[in-house]
Amino acid sequence: MSQQSLAFRDLTLGYDRHPAVHHLSGTVPAGSLLAIVGANGSGKSTLLKGIVGVLKPMDGAILRPASMRLAYLPQQSELDRSFPARVFDLVSLGLWPRRGLLGRHKAEDRDRLEAALAAVGLKGFATRGIDTLSGGQLQRALFARVLLQDADLILLDEPFNAVDHKTVEDLVALIKQWHAEKRTVLVVAHDLELVRAHFPQTLLLARRLVNWGPTAQVLTPANLALALHFHEAWDDNAPWCAPGDTHDHARDDHAHEHHHHAHQHRGAA
Amino acid sequence: MNALYDIIFAPFIEFGFMQRALGGALLLCLSACPVGVFLMLRRMSLAGDAMAHAILPGAAAGFLLYGLEIVPMTVGGLVAGVVVALGAAAVSRLTVLKEDASMAAFYLISLALGVLIVSLRGSPIDLMHVLFGTVLALNDEALGLIGGITAVTLAGLFVFWRALIAECLDPLFLRSVSKLGPPVHFVFLGLVVLNLVGGFQALGTLLSVGLMMLPAAAARFWTGQVISMCVVATLVGAASVISGLLLSFHLSLPSGPSIILSAGVVYLLSVLVGPRGLPSRRSRSLRHRAA
């Protein structure tokens, strides 16, 4: 696996000039297993979308080497479950990085796909329609797709939502296996017990960074109180975010970069 | 046996215009029906209808300047269709308006403009021609055009197949592995416009969307896979074309509506007897498997 790290440099991501992730700086060392925790609207999914490149930074930058292979699992609700596709069709999308738009799927691809399905406990499901799967089975299939992608950096957005206890256990085992293989794994999660039990590092977001480090030191009552009581509504009249204003955690030497940036965004609510 | 020959084969063997109509409409099925399947799966079934109206002012402008000539009317229709598709997509991506609403706005403007242009010169009969087409009067030029559109569409679907599937099924995933996500939407809208423009010569702007959507909707009841859905839709379209042309020939009915109504009958039958239609609902409630 690539030994290069992922870094955020004074990163602001958002929608319509309002920040959803505000001035985030830090480095995710290669091989990290990092939980991203925060209330609804705290910027967790937005951060993943920024790393993937679906959302362009309003300010600052996300630094990741071009050679870093990335696998992204969006929230299940982004998927059209009524689409007439078999498990095979869904999982084989994971071959895209290898075969692209036009490359033929080879016999070895088919073998890898079967192996991935077996690894997530869906042996024999290849020809089942995705509309017949339970929420847990669908999530297993999506994990099989991540397996096929064979990525250095794995981003999972709320993979444990609407999934039963046994499935969570199996999915956590897969995540730990990826961690053991020195892949970098970022997981958006809500279940704090689960995070405490399995994730060495935690990033606590409340639009701005609340805390980031070893899980036990981050998930303290004081930090959680801070994270859960931020104002969720945007303030339409929030002042423009000025250089140096709300740099809770950004280093000061980044402040000058604001002057060079074309976009303006509102200050945190 | 002879009667069967007279009813089914003789019209196509003995009359050149019937052969052309059959050839043109079958070619159109080959490309428009799979495009319709994707429109349906993208929940854009009504967008096809809107786009069919949207090409009218372009076709009408071509008609106004050059009379009933296929090339100017086709080019005009293409331009109008692309403008409306791009405009609607751009407004929905850059503003709060959803794509269905922005498309409704654009196509209504376009349709009104089209009717206005036709009325500047033509008689109501000309308007009827533009709206309802004449599959029984396809000339070589029109056949060549439809053939070209079919070739381009099939090539486009072949090349972008994987991206089209991914864009429908899991658009965010596609954007994470490829930059094709947004462009493939526009490529697809381009194919829709192309097929509607090809269809309006044969069936008219209003009915060409019928050959696109009805077979696709019917095929949804028969299979659970996209590729077989495209095949079934094309077969349904072909059967509707043959039956519609024969009805038109023997009963002196207008050809366009006869073809579309034939497809409509197949659709209703599919709802009633298709394995994914109403029967699946009934059997589900009465019986269940042991595991």
List, for residues A203-242, the tens digit of each pLDDT value: 999 888 888 999 999 899 988 888 877 655 556 667 777 6
A90 interfaces chain B, CB cutoff of 8 Å: yes
CA of A81: which chain B residue's CA is closest? B169
**The predicted structure's pLDDT at residue B108:** 92
The shortest CB-CB distance from A84 to any of B162, B178, B225 is to B225
The shortest CB-CB distance from A85 to any of B159, B169, B173 is to B169
Q: Which CATH superfamily is domain B19-286 in?
A: ABC transporter involved in vitamin B12 uptake, BtuC (1.10.3470.10)
**The predicted structure's pLDDT at residue A243:** 58
A134 located within any domain: yes
**The predicted structure's pLDDT at residue A107:** 86
A52 located within any domain: no
A247 located within any domain: no
Cα B156 vs. chain centroid, distance in angstroms?
Answer: 16
Cα maximum dimension of chain A: 59
Contact between B169 and A79 using a beta-carbon 8 Å cutoff: yes
**The predicted structure's pLDDT at residue B117:** 84
- Closest approach of chain A CAs to the CA of B109, in angstroms? 29
**The predicted structure's pLDDT at residue B125:** 65
pLDDT under 50: residue ranges of chain B: none
Helix/strand/coil (H, E, C) string of B41-109? HCCCHHHHHHHHHHCHHHHHHHHHHHCCCHHHHHHHHHHHHHHHHHHHHHHHHHCCCCHHHHHHHHHHH
CB atoms closer than 10 angstroms to residue B9: 11
A105 located within any domain: yes
**The predicted structure's pLDDT at residue B131:** 63
A144 located within any domain: yes
**The predicted structure's pLDDT at residue A236:** 67
Domain count, chain A: 1
- Closest approach of chain A CAs to the CA of B180, in angstroms? 9
**The predicted structure's pLDDT at residue A2:** 46
A70 located within any domain: no
Report chain A residues whose CB lies below 8 A from the CB of B178.
96, 100-101
CA of A95: which chain B residue's CA is closest? B177
**The predicted structure's pLDDT at residue A232:** 56
Find the domain containing A111 and state its range: 76-150
pLDDT under 50: residue ranges of chain A: 1-2, 246-262, 269
ipTM over 0.90: no
- Give the CA-trace dihedral at B224, B47, B187, A96, to 10 degrees: -30
Q: What is the DSSP string of A218-243?
A: HS-HHHHHHHHTS--S--TTPPBPPT
**The predicted structure's pLDDT at residue A88:** 94
**The predicted structure's pLDDT at residue A85:** 92
**The predicted structure's pLDDT at residue A258:** 41
Count of CB contacts below 8 A, A vs B? Answer: 75
List, for residues B145-198, the tens digit of each pLDDT value: 889 999 999 999 999 999 999 999 998 899 888 888 888 988 999 999 999 988
A96 interfaces chain B, CB cutoff of 8 Å: yes
**The predicted structure's pLDDT at residue A253:** 39
A261 interfaces chain B, CB cutoff of 8 Å: no
Q: How many helices (H) and strands (E) does chain A have?
A: 9, 9
Contact between A54 and B175 using a beta-carbon 8 Å cutoff: yes
Report chain A residues whose CB lies below 8 A from the CB of B38.
none
Give the C-alpha separation, A158 to A153, whole Å.
Answer: 16
**The predicted structure's pLDDT at residue A234:** 58
Interstrand relation of A201-206 and A208-214 (parallel, antiparallel or unpaired)? antiparallel
A72 interfaces chain B, CB cutoff of 8 Å: yes
Cα A261 vs. chain centroid, distance in angstroms?
Answer: 26
Burial class, A139, CB count within 10 angstroms (exposed 0-12 / middle 13-18 / buried 19+): buried
A109 located within any domain: yes
